[in-house]
Amino acid sequence: MGGIEVATIKDHELKQFVELPYTLYRNDPYWVAPLRIAVKELLDRRKHPFYANAEAEFFLARREGRVVGRIAAILDRTHNKVHGEQAGFFGFFESIDDGAVAEALLAQAREWVTGRGARFLRGPVNPSTNYECGMLIDGFDSSPMVMMTYNPRYYPALMEGVGLRKSKDLLAYRSHADRIDLEKIDRLSQRVLKKNGVRVRPINMKDFANEVERVWQVYASAWSRNWGFVPMTREEFFAQGKEMKQILKPELVLIGEVGDRVVGFGLALPDINQALKPAGGSLFPTGLLKILYHQRLIKRVRVLALGVVPEHQASGLPAVFYATLVRNARKLGYGECEMSWILEDNVLMNRSLEVMGAKRYKTYRIYDWS
C-alpha cells in the first residue's frame, strides 16, 4: 500500500470532505445521512456563528490519490476561557478501517492545535458539545436519534490504537411513554412544583423570538456546572433555535418560571432522523417529498436539553421536566423516548431516569490525547 498524505482542504475540495461518509456508510443500515446543505452550513467558517470565537481547519487523508479519511482541528477560545484549559479539539472524524490513516489524521489535528497553544487534543465534537459529539462505543444495533452521532464499530479501536484515552462517557437512555407510571410521576411532580413555587408551561410559538431570548438569558447559568459546557453567543443560540423551530412541538418545549423569572428549560424533539433517512442526504429531486411524507410517521422523540438554574438543581425540578416531556410525548402519540445525552457521573439524573424505568442503551465517548 502507498503512503498516506494528509493535507488542508482547498475550497474546491470541500465537497470531497462532505461526501466521504456517504461513501463509507453506503451499506450501513443504521446510518442516517445528514442533509448535505446542513453539513455545508455548519462547516462555513465565514458565516456560521460558532466560528466567531473559534478557529478550525479541515484535513483530508489520501492514499494513492483516493480519499480515505477526514478530520477537523478546532480551537474553541470560549471553551478554554470558561474552563481555564488549553484544549484543542477534533471533530468530523471519518476513516477507513486502518490504524495508520487514523493516526495520520489525529496527529495532524494535534499538531495544528498545539501549534496554536493547546496542550492536548479532545474529541470528537462536531464542532462543540452544543452539537453532535462523542463516539459511539456500544449500542450499534439501531439508528441514532436526532442530533446524535453514529459510527462504525471499529472506530473506538482506532482511537485506542493511536493512544487516545477516555475523558468522559455520555449516556443515552431509552424508554417507552406507554410503560411509564404517569399517576405516580404526576403526584411527585405536583409536590415538587408546589414546594418550589415553579410553574411549567409550553413555549408560546406566537412569541417565539422573545421566548428564545428568555431561555438564552438563563442558559449559561443553568448549564454552567456541566462538564464540557460551552456557552453559546446570542447569535449562535438563536441560529439553533431557528433550525429547531421547523420541527418542534410546543408541548415538548417547556419553560419553568417562578413569577416572571425563567428558572429552567426542557426540550424534546421529534426524531426527524426517521424522515431524513429515506432522503439520503439530498433535498432534490425527491428528498424533500420523502421527508415531508415520512415526517408524518415519526413515532420517536428525543429529550435533548434540560437546564435548571443552580438553586433549583437539587430540588427535583429536572426530573419533573423529564416526566412532563414524556407525558406530553405520550399524549401526542409518540412511543419510544430517548433521553440523551447524560454525563456518566451525573448520579442524580441517571438514578432519576432509572426510577422512571428508562434503560441505558447507548454510550458515547469523548477522548483525550496528550
Question: Do residues 320 and 192 make contact, with C-beta atoms less than 8 angstroms apart?
Answer: yes
In a shared domain, residues 165 and 179: no
Residue-wise pLDDT tens digits, 12-41: 999 999 999 999 999 999 999 999 999 999
Scanning 84-127, the segments in alpha helix (DSSP H) are 99-114
Residue-wise pLDDT tens digits, 351-366: 888 887 889 999 999 9
| Residue 198: predicted pLDDT | 81
Q: Is the pLDDT of residue 130 over 60?
A: yes
CA distance 88 to 73: 7
| Residue 367: predicted pLDDT | 98
How many CB atoms lie under 10 A from the CB of residue 60?
A: 21
In a shared domain, residues 264 and 309: yes
In a shared domain, residues 15 and 117: yes
Residue 284 included in any domain: yes
Tell me which of 70-74, 145-149, 322-326, 332-336 is least confident. 322-326
In a shared domain, residues 80 and 200: no
In a shared domain, residues 9 and 136: yes
CA distance 183 to 111: 56
Cβ-Cβ contacts under 8 Å for 159 (sequence gap 6 or more): 102, 135, 365, 367
Residue-wise pLDDT tens digits, 132-142: 999 999 999 99
- The residue among 170, 187, 216 that closes a domain is 170
In 3D, which of 161, 170, 36 has the Cα closest to residue 99? 161
In a shared domain, residues 214 and 352: yes
Residue-wise pLDDT tens digits, 289-316: 888 877 888 999 999 988 889 887 777 7
In a shared domain, residues 339 and 199: yes
Tell me which of 49-53, 79-83, 215-219 is least confident. 215-219
E strand or H helix that includes residue 278:
none
In which residue are the cell numbers 437512555 written?
Answer: 173
Give the mean model confidence (pLDDT) for residues 50-59. 97
Residue 323 included in any domain: yes
| Residue 18: predicted pLDDT | 98
CA distance 95 to 93: 7
Q: Which domain holds residue 92?
A: 4-170
- The residue among 125, 153, 170 that closes a domain is 170
Residue 369 included in any domain: no
| Residue 185: predicted pLDDT | 67
Question: Do residues 321 and 200 make contact, with C-beta atoms less than 8 angstroms apart?
Answer: yes
In a shared domain, residues 144 and 9: yes
| Residue 1: predicted pLDDT | 45
Q: How many domains does the chain have?
A: 2
Tell me the one-letter amino acid at 261. Answer: R
Identify the DSSP state of 211: H
In a shared domain, residues 165 and 189: no
Residue-wise pLDDT tens digits, 224-259: 888 999 999 999 999 999 999 989 999 999 998 888
Q: Is the pLDDT of residue 61 over 60?
A: yes
Average pLDDT, the chain: 92
Cβ-Cβ contacts under 8 Å for 257 (sequence gap 6 or more): 198, 199, 200, 201, 263
| Residue 307: predicted pLDDT | 86
Residue-wise pLDDT tens digits, 151-201: 999 999 999 999 999 999 999 999 887 776 667 667 767 777 777 778 889
Cβ-Cβ contacts under 8 Å for 345 (sequence gap 6 or more): 168, 227
In a shared domain, residues 107 and 79: yes
| Residue 356: predicted pLDDT | 78
| Residue 268: predicted pLDDT | 95
In a shared domain, residues 87 and 219: no
Q: Is the pLDDT of residue 325 over 90?
A: no
CA distance 250 to 278: 26
Residue 292 included in any domain: yes
- pLDDT above 70: percentage of residues in the chain: 97
CA angle 84–54–100, rounded 5-degree value: 90
| Residue 315: predicted pLDDT | 73
Q: Is the pLDDT of residue 320 over 90?
A: no
- The residue among 107, 140, 170 that closes a domain is 170
In a shared domain, residues 17 and 76: yes
CATH number at residue 305: 3.40.630.30
Residue 370 included in any domain: no
Name the residue with higher pLDDT: 101 or 180: 101
